[in-house]
Amino acid sequence: MFARSSAATVVAAALAVVPAHADALADFYKGRQINLIVGYGPGGGYDIHARLLARHFGKFIPGHPTVVVQNMPGAGSLRAVNYLYNVAPKDGATIGTFARNMPLLGLLGGNSNVQFDPRRLTWLGSTSSFANDAYILLVRKDAPVKSIEEARRSDFPALVLGATAEGATGNDVPIILRDTIGLHVKQVVGYPDTASIFLAMERGEIHGRTVDLSTVKSIKPEWLKPDSDFRVLVQFARTTRHPDFPDVPTARELAKNEAARALIELAELPYALSRPFAAPPHLSAARAKALQRAFLAVHGDLEYLEDAAKLSLDVSPIGADEILRAIDRIAVAPPELLDYVRRLLAETRGGGQAQ
């Protein structure tokens, strides 16, 4: 009898606390502005996802705060995640989005510029698990190589690809493809953002770039038409070929050997958290839960989904727990593969993350 009575008391107490928590959260967020830090300049894939979320996120948070995007480009979004971790107020009124490979960078160590532990961030989730996306090598049709077979031959001219500044995906994937499938490539780094890389491609200053398929669909959909001036040579971050490109091979298919395939699979792990969102560490449990619930709820909102469809964005969300599981899988990767990634980052430092 005592146990049953105690259990009923606990349930009643918990139910009584919920409105109190909700009232406290509403009091905090009512009339308040949530700052959404984006680790890139306006117009790229991360920025587009962030602005879409900002338009709908507040209505799922008690008190219905406004959400304002603040672009903080620099160091392939490392500047933004360092700010979020070390400087941003830890009150639930600042969140951020940054490169998908920042958790990997945070786990590797050995870089004094990395000033965060990805396991201690307050994760909200990712708007995309990349289930419906692909990371593609997109090149001009007048490039000196016309197929992935020619692009792997050292007796053909190297593909000249553009990237931003500070070693991350936009720099790393071409080098990984060089080492695992034999891609003959040269990189031009230092472009400030996605728009400038696309402009360089249009002008013929570079042959192409690696980029999310969803970003191209959203910003340059005409480039994907059969009669366009561009073609896709290879797909990365895919276990199978994307349905839009059944004749384009995946990197895994082209791997030179099993060791190369294992490296590709490690490098593809961060794509499970393709568009990550997080808050600073040490948030109160109630505010962290409110933000996490709101993040998942917004992805079921019809208005949000309609806006995402208009932008041709991949919506395949995962929550905070799945983010942490993905980070754990990266952390237990074989040491020799993690060592390769450390050397890769040293090689590409000064190059950058495509958006």
Decide whether 2-130+272-336 matches 135-269 in CATH topology: yes
**Mean pLDDT computed over 306-314:** 94
**Contact, 171 vs 189, CB < 8 A?**
yes
Number of Cβ atoms within 10 Å of the Cβ of 19: 9
Distance CA 277, CA 279 (A): 7
Query: What is the predicted pLDDT for the residue at 345?
Result: 75
| Window from 11-15, 219-223, 281-285 with minimum mean pLDDT | 11-15
Query: What is the predicted pLDDT for the residue at 20?
Result: 53
**pLDDT tens digits, one per residue of 50-96:** 999 999 999 999 999 999 999 999 888 999 999 999 999 999 999 99
Distance CA 188, CA 348 (A): 11
Structure tokens at 109: 């160590």
* Segments making up each domain of the chain, as ranges: 2-130+272-336, 135-269
Residues 6 or more apart whose Cβ sits within 8 Å of residue 275: 45, 46, 49, 97, 100, 126, 127, 128
Query: What is the predicted pLDDT for the residue at 348?
Result: 65
The residue written with tokens 């080098």 in the block is 175
Query: What is the predicted pLDDT for the residue at 170?
Result: 67
Residues 6 or more apart whose Cβ sits within 8 Å of residue 152: 181, 182, 183, 184, 254
Query: What is the predicted pLDDT for the residue at 5?
Result: 42
* Mean of pLDDT over the chain: 90
Structure tokens at 227: 């009669």
Query: What is the predicted pLDDT for the residue at 346?
Result: 74
- Give the domain 135-269 fold: D-Maltodextrin-Binding Protein; domain 2 (3.40.190)
| CA Rg value for the chain | 22
Q: What is the CA 54 to chain-centroid distance, rounded?
A: 17
**Contact, 103 vs 117, CB < 8 A?**
no
Task: Give which of 154, 123, 133 is closest to 296, Cα–Cα.
Answer: 123
**pLDDT tens digits, one per residue of 134-193:** 999 999 999 999 999 999 999 999 999 998 765 556 688 999 999 999 999 999 988 888
- Give yes or no for residue 6 having a pLDDT over 90: no
Share of the chain above pLDDT 70, in %: 90
**Contact, 200 vs 164, CB < 8 A?**
no
Residues of 298-330 as b/e, b for ≥16 C-beta within 10 angstroms?
bbeeeebeebbeeebbbbebbbbebbbebbeeb
As a CATH number, domain 2-130+272-336 is 3.40.190.150
Share of the chain above pLDDT 90, in %: 80
**Mean pLDDT computed over 24-31:** 96
Q: State the virtual CA torsion across 86, 92, 95, 100 in degrees, nearest 10.
A: 80
Number of Cβ atoms within 10 Å of the Cβ of 56: 19
Query: Pick the residue with more confidence: 97 or 101?
Result: 97
**Mean pLDDT computed over 285-307:** 97
Structure tokens at 340: 């390769």
**Mean pLDDT computed over 111-129:** 96
Query: What is the predicted pLDDT for the residue at 13?
Result: 40
Query: What is the predicted pLDDT for the residue at 11?
Result: 34
CA distances from 157 to 207, 223, 233 (A): 11, 23, 15
- Give yes or no for residue 284 having a pLDDT over 80: yes
